[in-house]
Amino acid sequence: MGIGLIIVIVLVCASIFVNGWTDAPNAITTVVSTRVLSPRAAVGLAAIFNLLGVLLMGSAVAETISSIIQNPQPGTDILVTLAAAQIAIVSWALGAWKFGIPTSESHALVAGLTGAALAGGGLSSISWGAWQKVLIGLGVSSVLGFASGWLVTLGVSKAFGRMNRRRANKIFSYGQVISASAMAFSHGAQDGQKFMGVLAFALMMGGVIPDSGTFTIPIELMIGCSVLMAFGTSIGGYRIIKTMGMDMVKIEKYQGFSSEVAASACMIGSTLLGIPLSTTNTKGTALMGAAASRRLSNVNWGIVKEMLLAWVLTFPACGLIGYLIALLLHAIF
C-alpha cells in the first residue's frame, strides 16, 4: 500500500468522523430536544441504526457518488482528486461547526469531488448524469422535505387533536424513539453509503480491493466506518442538536415525531432510487415545516437564513477548495 493511498484513507476517515460530528446529529435532533432521550442514549441509538441502514439498503447511492468522476484510472491522479475532495469537506465542515451552523457534508462531498476532478481532467472528467441525480436530490431535500413535514404534522394533529394531552405526549414519546431510529437508519443508508463508497472506491483504485466489475463495500469497512461516525457524533454533536432542535424551532413531541417520519420517508425513497440527498437539508426543512404548520413564529427565521446561506455557499466554496487543493497537489506530485 503506497503512501498516497494511506494519506487518502486517513483523509476519508477524517471526513467520516467530521460527518458524524457535524451531520449525523441531525438524525437525533428532535428526540434530544424534546427530552425523550438523553444525548448519550440517542448517540447509541443512532450508531446502531446507522449501521443497519448501511447494511440493509444496498449501494445505489454509493455508486452514484463514485460515478461523479468519469472514467477514473488507477494511479496518482485519482488519489490526488480524492485527497483534495476530503480536505475541502473537512475544512468547510469544521468552519461551519465552529459557529454551530449545520452544513451538508453530502453536498460538500459532491462539490469537492467535482472541483478536484475538474482540476485534473477538465469537464470531460465529470459525469453530468450523476450530477442530475444530485440536483434532483437537492429539490427533494428542500421542497419535498418542507412540504412533507408540514402535511404529516397537520395529519397527525388532526388524528390526535382530541386526545388527552398527557396521553398523547406519552404515545409520541414512544413514537419518537421509533421515528428517530428510522431517521438514523435513513442517514446510514444515505451518508454512510456516500463516504464508505468513497473509501471503497479509493481502495479499489489503489489495488487493495479487487475490481470485480460490480461496486461492493466489504462488511468490515461498513462496521468500522459506522463506529467512527458514531464516535464523531458523541464528541461534537450537541452543538448542532442545539441549533437545529432548540434554537431554530419550537416543537412539541408530536411535531418532532412528524418531522422525523416525513424526513426519513423522503430519504429512504431517494436511497432506493440511487438519488443522493442531504440529511441536513431534509431534516432541517422537515423540522421547519412541522413547526410552521402550527405557527410561523415557531420558526426562528434568522437562524434559517444563516442555514440557507451556508447550504447555498457549500457547492461553490467546496468546489473551489477542492479545485485549488488539487492543483497544488498535482504540482507537488
Mind listing the pLDDT tens digit for each residue in 99-155?
A: 766 677 788 899 999 999 999 888 888 988 889 898 898 888 888 999 999 999 999
**174-217: pLDDT as tens digits:** 999 999 899 889 888 888 788 888 888 888 888 788 776 666 77
Provide the pLDDT for residue 130: 87
Residue corresponding to grid cell 404534522 = 153
Provide the pLDDT for residue 87: 93
pTM: 0.84
User: Residues near 39 by Cβ (< 8 Å), separated by ≥ 6?
Assistant: 32, 237, 238, 241
Give dist(CA 329, CA 216) in Å, integer: 29
Q: Is the pLDDT of residue 294 over 80?
A: yes
The DSSP letter of residue 126 is B
State the amino acid at position 90 in one-letter form: V
Give dist(CA 246, CA 234) in Å, integer: 18
Average pLDDT over residues 324-328: 94
Provide the pLDDT for residue 201: 85
**250-285: pLDDT as tens digits:** 778 899 899 999 999 999 999 988 898 888 888 889
For 224, the grid coordinates are 468500522
Provide the pLDDT for residue 310: 79
| Structure-derived torsion over alpha carbons of residues 193, 45, 226, 273, reported in degrees to the nearest 10 | -10
**Cβ(207)–Cβ(74) below 8 Å:** yes
* pLDDT confidence band for 23 (50 / 70 / 90): low
The domain segmentation of the chain, as residue ranges, is 3-83+123-298
Helix (H, G, I), strand (E, B) or coil at 273: coil
Provide the pLDDT for residue 242: 61
Q: Is the pLDDT of residue 246 over 60?
A: no
List the one residue out of 242, 250, 258 whose CA is nearest residue 160: 258
**Cβ(248)–Cβ(280) below 8 Å:** no
Provide the pLDDT for residue 165: 85
For 161, the grid coordinates are 387533536
Provide the pLDDT for residue 100: 65
Count of alpha carbons within 13 angstroms of residue 31, beta-carbon side: 28
Compute how many other C-beta atoms are within 10 angstroms of the C-beta atom of residue 1. 10
Provide the pLDDT for residue 52: 85
